[in-house]
């Protein structure tokens, strides 16, 4: 299956938009998250867009610094035209009024094509990703099958890696404590539910290795420091594809994460920014992204265009979506500060 994934090709003619030629010197500044992910965006989106429209793209990196965007907008000195916001940053900036509300007529596509990802008023979804539980098949041939197994140190003795963040950690604790995934946020929205989540975390606290960057869980697994770990699924795929690791992904309660392209208020090239959003929202470019990184397309029509060899690695196949945790971003915007304070205090005990 991986061999099929590596057979990357260029965009098909159906992906190309019919647009007016750009004027010499037209350029968009787009920021994303760097690394192999941004390299994939260049191949699937940036370079084909420039070839099609004549509009050059200068891409830069950021780390989700919402304060930087607020400072730009408030001072009316916006130097970024389009931002790859990620799920949390996009929702937070939208609720704070820092982003343009998307005019879907200008995008030229039915918003309903994006399903639940299209609920955000300020962004165009272009990929879906996930955090999963990963393990080394060579060291753990009969690995975990559920989130409850992540918390079962008798069945799976040894250290396990978790992101040093209450987001998803608390949800998984409740799911491991027999709360159905569709009831997680109702339960976590009560004091009793919060206490229940932390009691469950108490049961594995001494066995957790906390990580803070996406590269760490891969290294923890490779070094044998943990028997399993929460990890970004794209990182685990890369370790298998590029480094020959025999890592396996377990998809139970994998939280849905979405990539949105958003426009900060005051973007100096608003018309060209909309041309970019129109380009990347189409099925073929979104399907092409999967040739370079296993992030699923948000446009539902794109799934039929994805190489079948890639499908087992995407988070939004019917099989994986049936197991997924539908994360509630508004819940975290409203309750995140309090839960992070409680989490920090719990870690310090």
Sign of the dihedral defined by the CA atoms of residues 285, 286, 287, 289, in that order: positive
Which residue in 45, 92, 81 sits closest to 288, CA to CA? 45
pLDDT at 88: 84
How far apart CA 312 and CA 108 sit, in angstroms, is 30
Taking the model in full, what pTM does it have? 0.83
What's the CA dihedral at 132, 137, 141, 145 to 10 degrees? 10
Which residue in 212, 219, 242 sits closest to 39, CA to CA? 242
User: Cβ(49)–Cβ(22) under 8 Å?
Assistant: no
3-state secondary structure of 299: coil
How far apart CA 129 and CA 229 sit, in angstroms, is 17
Averaged over 47-51, what is the pLDDT?
A: 98
Q: Is 43 left (phi over 0), alpha (psi -120 to 50) or beta?
A: alpha
Q: Is 298 left (phi over 0), alpha (psi -120 to 50) or beta?
A: alpha
Quickly list H helices, 75-165.
87-95, 104-107, 147-150
Averaged over 75-91, what is the pLDDT?
A: 93
User: Cβ(19)–Cβ(268) under 8 Å?
Assistant: no
pLDDT, tens digit (0-9, with 9 covering 90-100), for 279-330: 999 999 999 999 999 999 999 999 999 999 999 999 999 999 999 999 998 8
User: Cβ(114)–Cβ(286) under 8 Å?
Assistant: no
pLDDT at 240: 92
Q: Tell me which of 226-230, 234-238, 265-269 is least confident.
A: 234-238
pLDDT at 107: 97
Pick the CATH number of 130-254+328-348 from 3.40.190.10, 3.20.20.70, 3.30.429.10, 3.40.50.150: 3.40.190.10
Residues of the chain with CATH 3.40.190.10: 2-129+256-323, 130-254+328-348
pLDDT at 82: 98
The structure tokens 């793209």 sit at 57
pLDDT, tens digit (0-9, with 9 covering 90-100), for 177-213: 999 999 999 999 999 999 999 999 999 999 999 999 8
Q: Is 271 left (phi over 0), alpha (psi -120 to 50) or beta?
A: alpha
User: Cβ(320)–Cβ(50) under 8 Å?
Assistant: no
Grade residue 1 by pLDDT with cuts at 50, 70 and 90. very low
Token code pair at residue 278: 């129109």
pLDDT at 25: 53
With vertex at residue 303, the alpha carbon angle to CA 326 and CA 62, rounded to the nearest 5 degrees, is 60
Token code pair at residue 340: 């992070």
Beta strand 82-84 with 256-262 is: antiparallel
How far apart CA 343 and CA 119 sit, in angstroms, is 29
Phi, psi of 37 (to 5 degrees): -65, -50
User: Cβ(252)–Cβ(147) under 8 Å?
Assistant: yes
Q: What CATH fold (topology level) applies to the domain 2-129+256-323?
A: D-Maltodextrin-Binding Protein; domain 2 (3.40.190)
Extended strands (E) in the chain: 27-32, 56-61, 82-84, 123-136, 160-163, 208-211, 228-232, 247-250, 256-262
The structure tokens 């998307």 sit at 102
């Amino acid at each position: 299956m991986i061999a099929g994934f590596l057979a990357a090709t260029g965009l098909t003619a159906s992906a190309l938009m019919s647009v007016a030629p750009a004027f010499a010197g037209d350029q968009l500044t787009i920021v994303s998250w760097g690394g192999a992910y941004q390299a994939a965006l260049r191949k699937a989106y940036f370079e084909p867009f420039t070839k099609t429209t004549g509009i050059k793209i200068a891409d830069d990196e950021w780390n989700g610094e919402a304060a930087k965007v607020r400072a730009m907008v408030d001072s009316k000195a916006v130097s970024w035209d389009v931002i790859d916001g990620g799920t949390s940053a996009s929702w937070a900036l939208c609720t704070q009024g820092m982003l343009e509300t998307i005019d879907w007529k200008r995008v030229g596509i039915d918003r309903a094509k994006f399903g639940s990802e299209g609920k955000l008023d300020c962004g165009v979804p272009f990929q879906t990703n996930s955090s999963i539980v990963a393990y080394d098949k060579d060291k753990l041939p009969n690995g975990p099958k559920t989130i409850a197994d992540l918390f079962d140190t008798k069945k799976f003795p040894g250290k396990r890696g978790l992101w040093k963040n209450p987001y998803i950690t608390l949800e998984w604790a409740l799911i491991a404590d027999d709360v159905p995934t569709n009831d997680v946020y109702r339960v976590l929205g009560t004091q009793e539910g919060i206490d229940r989540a932390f009691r469950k975390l108490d049961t594995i606290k001494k066995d957790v290795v906390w990580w803070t960057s996406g590269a760490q869980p891969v290294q923890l697994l490779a070094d044998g420091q943990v028997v399993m770990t929460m990890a970004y699924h794209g990182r685990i795929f890369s370790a298998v594809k590029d480094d020959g690791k025999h890592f396996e992904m377990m998809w139970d309660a994998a939280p849905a994460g979405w990539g949105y392209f958003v426009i900060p208020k005051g973007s100096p090239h608003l018309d060209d920014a909309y041309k970019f959003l129109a380009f990347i929202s189409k099925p073929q470019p979104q399907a092409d992204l999967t040739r370079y990184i296993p992030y699923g397309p948000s446009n539902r029509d794109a799934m039929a265009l994805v190489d079948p060899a890639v499908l087992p690695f995407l988070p939004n196949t019917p099989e994986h979506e049936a197991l997924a945790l539908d994360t509630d971003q508004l819940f975290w915007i409203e309750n995140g500060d309090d839960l992070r304070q409680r989490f920090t205090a719990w870690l310090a005990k």
